[in-house]
Structure 1
């Protein structure tokens, strides 16, 4: 689960322009004059990075630190590994009492790594985004240790990271990862809803925990959605879609077995989920076109069946653009009694 995003990050197509056209300068890829060699090997530099640098830069056990994880990724990519070694040889020299000028070992790796880095920026082929972001990180760590600070290079490096992330919408890939995880959970609830109690002990609790984990680990998404109306720039559309679906799944799970949709009294967890769903759905529809997103339309359907508010119900009816889903919504509304409607009854209606 923890590395599920890596496959999406590893190969993602380049935009239809050269990144150089968007970058004012990349002087941070130019090496500085080296100090003499100190005779350290690459294996010594990696060992130093793993056993000294990683523990220094983390509050966790070194083996579990982010820098150890990054090292394990960097070893698999020549560009990132060269830049990691450029940084590590430089740090090892400082640690051993040499000057803060990078030794020859660092200089040579910096040359090789920055050449591969520049080629990657010029390329129109597929990019390994994990390797690129690690390379940005090691370049940053390298230049932050130079004395005095080269402010212009650090500014160019910072601006280049921003251009790269925006060019490939990398900040939205995590949102897509959550979206696809929610699709999987929707299928799990659907199977649970149609199964028997005897065959699925503990399933509901397991699904609840998955939803809670998403809310905890991806809390930034819910903060984006909660501040949707005030965000500048606007909250990404898929963030709003994902949060809307999340709240619909909370309702779907709570009403998937014995508890009917719209049944009174409404459980507190369903009340909260419906309130948050409606708030986010309003932002979503106002933000951009969601007519073709079937699962967002499904989330509106769940809210429309659950709500007792006629204003919300009318807005949902007007906002459901898919003719099939709108027809199902109208069919369920006409069949729903004062005691609500169970998922079993819904399936019978639409089968």
Structure 2
């Protein structure tokens, strides 16, 4: 059987507040696994399980999903060809592209982001590997949950009340005002720290979900910073994908960007990208500052992770670190950001409105470590001013 259709009104009526997910993959085994994982969650349900992009395009209006998990390689109509057709029929559909770790699929995934896909997820090579890949399952479910919550107008699990004076707290909404599966505690009002007088010496950036698009925008605007200071980026990405990311950053910034190499000297004028599967740190060796690639365990369920970069940068540049936390799930970068602030450096976070997921920047914001919480379009100009000597 090529597809499984969930009859509208059966499962969905009993779980009316659940995220509606359409799974599209030519492997019946993988469709079944992903569908079982989704159905095991209380806040989401599978409304259709389809074999080809053509079936997805033909049935997307009938099943009205919030989220589609779309394989790239399928017969009849592949994922990259189906993507614009799906979005033409349902503009607010959240599409997560799924692909194996090949250079071709990494390139296609980046192209899909430019065509309107919300995110991508690397898929293990075989059905057996998929079944055993707990990381794949966890990441997929989290992407569906966070991106889907934003799609239906709910806040991400880290909420962001308006920036208001600390003495004027925002009252928490009644819990029954939110769908049960997406109720989250409202955190305390946000506080901003003043920028310190420390002279910036390095820019470190952390990002995850939505990060590739945000990074392209940011590096295109900070040429004067790149020319005079090292820029180090950790984006949650697997091998091969980080290679492609560095190539795209080179084109966007018109400056050299590359996957970092263990032991290489850190210089101004270059962008260093943490390679997939390794944590990127920095260390002082004699008179030089060098890259250190760490093959240790995951940090915050991630490898590469942002916290090790921020923390190691403090050890080298002390109060000269400016850490920028962009869109992404989870709280990676928050602990490292605390170390940056404790050393006298500064942290900037992307705001909720322009983040695909306000997890990582939201965690930093709620931790009270940010000197600024800005829309993406304002972060680049702010960094240029800071590195030029403006401390406001």
Same fold (TM over 0.5): no
Larger radius of gyration: 1
Higher strand share: 2
Comparing both chains, which one has the higher relative contact order based on Cα–Cα distances under 8 Å and sequence gaps of 6 or more? Answer: 1
Structure 1 length as normaliser, TM-score? 0.24
Q: If the length of structure 2 is used for normalisation, what is the TM-score?
A: 0.22
